[in-house]
Amino acid sequence: MQQRAKFLRQKMAQLVQEVEEMYQRQGEEEMDEKQRCEKERGFSWGALLFAALQQWQFWAIAGVLVLLFGLSWWLPRRSSEPDGNRESKEYQSSDSNRDHKSHRKEDHNSHSKEEQERVDEEEEENYANHVRTNLERHISGQAADLATDCQTVEYFTDRLISTLRRLLSNTFLPNLEAAIGVGSAFEGWSPREEDMTFRVFVPMTPPRGHVFHLELDTEKTIPGRNFRIHVEQVCTCRREQYPGEMLCFLHRPEEELRNKQGRSILDLLCTGSYLDVHKTAHWFNLLVKEAWVSFPESHTCKLKMLPFSRSCKFQMKRGSGKCILIEMMFGVRQDNSDIFVSSQSTEAVFTPDTMWPESYAVAEAKFFRLMARDIPHNSFHLKCLHVFAQMVVGSDFSSCTFKTVVMHLLTTTPLSGWTRRDFPLRLLEIMRYLRHRLKEKRLNHFFLGNEGVPEEIVLPSDIREAEPLNLFQHHAEARHEFEELQDRLTRLLLLGH
What's the whole-number mean pLDDT along residues 103-122? 60
Q: Are both 99 and 85 inside the same structural domain?
A: yes
Q: Examine the domain organization and report whether 212 and 330 are in the same domain.
A: yes
Q: Are residues 218 and 308 in the same domain?
A: yes
| Cα–Cα distance for residue pair 428/445, rounded to 1 Å | 21
Distances (CA, A) of 39 to 18, 19, 36: 12, 11, 5
Nearest alpha carbon to residue 149 among 197, 209, 107, 116: 197
Question: In which domain, by residue range, is 396 found?
Answer: 360-497
Q: Where a domain ends, among 70, 104, 138?
A: 138
124-158: pLDDT as tens digits: 566 566 666 666 665 555 555 778 889 989 999 99
Does 161 lie in the same domain as 245?
A: yes
The CATH number of the domain holding residue 436 is 1.10.1410.40
In the predicted model, what is the mean pLDDT of the chain?
76
Query: Which has more confidence, 410 or 106?
Result: 410
Q: What is the rounded average pLDDT of the residues 370-395? A: 84
- With respect to residue 11, please indicate whether it lies within any of the assigned structural domains: yes
Give yes or no: residues 406 and 273 share one domain: no
Report which of residues 187 and 1 the model is more confident about. 187
Per-residue pLDDT at 203: 97
Most confident region among 126-135, 220-229, 475-484 by mean pLDDT? 220-229
Q: Do the domain assignments include residue 128? A: yes
pTM of the model: 0.74
In a domain, 277, yes or no: yes
Residue 242 pLDDT level (bands cut at 50, 70, 90): very low
Specify whether the CB–CB gap between 339 and 459 falls below 8 A.
Answer: yes
Residue 81 domain flag: yes
- Chain centroid offset of residue 484 CA: 21
Q: DSSP string covering 246-262, please?
A: PPPTTTS-HHHHHHHT-
If pLDDT is split at 50, 70 and 90, which confidence band does 296 have?
confident
Q: Among the three residues 287, 322, 355, which one is the final residue of a domain in this structure?
A: 355
Length of the chain: 497
Q: Do 423 and 339 fall into the same domain?
A: no
Do 440 and 323 share a domain, yes or no?
no
Same domain, 478 and 376: yes
143 within a domain of the structure (yes/no):
no
Q: How far apart are CA 195 and CA 205, in angstroms?
A: 31
Distance in angstroms (rounded) separating the CA atoms of residues 485 and 478:
11
Quick check: 468 pLDDT over 50?
Answer: yes
CATH code where residue 286 lies: 3.30.460.90
- Return d(Cα 259, Cα 247) in angstroms, integer: 11
Q: Do both 297 and 241 map to the same domain?
A: yes
Q: In the prediction, which pLDDT does 256 show?
A: 56
pLDDT in tens, 188-204: 888 665 568 899 999 99
Confidence of residue 304 (pLDDT cuts 50, 70, 90): very high
pLDDT in tens, 425-452: 888 899 999 999 988 889 999 999 999 9
Q: How many structural domains is the chain composed of?
A: 3
Q: Which amino acid is at 40?
A: E
Question: Do 369 and 321 belong to one domain?
Answer: no
Of the two residues 296 and 97, the one the predictor is more confident about is: 296
pLDDT at 120: 56
pLDDT, position 188: 85
Contact present, 333 and 340 (Cβ < 8 Å): yes
- pLDDT tier, 379 (very low <50, low <70, confident <90, very high otherwise): confident
Please, are residues 277 and 354 in contact by the beta-carbon 8 Å criterion?
yes
Asked whether residue 111 falls in the same domain as residue 128, the answer is: yes
Q: Please indicate, yes or no, if residue 338 is contained in any of the structural domains.
A: yes
Does the pLDDT value for residue 14 go beyond 70? no
What percent of the chain lies above the pLDDT cut of 70? 63
pLDDT tens for residues 34-91?
455 445 444 454 555 555 455 444 444 555 454 544 544 444 444 444 444 444 444 3
pLDDT of 163 > 80? The answer is yes
Last residue of a domain, one of 307, 338, 355: 355
Same domain as 494, residue 444: yes
- 265 backbone dihedrals φ, ψ, rounded to 5°: -60, -35
Tell me the C-alpha to C-alpha distance, in Å, between residue 340 and each of 226, 358, 364, 454.
10, 6, 12, 18
Q: Encode burial over 70-108: b for 16+ CB neighbours within 10 A, e otherwise.
A: beeeeeeeeeeeeeeeeeeeeeeeeeeeeeeeeeeeeeb
Q: What is the pLDDT of residue 25?
A: 56
Residue 468 lies in a domain: yes
pLDDT value for 432? 92
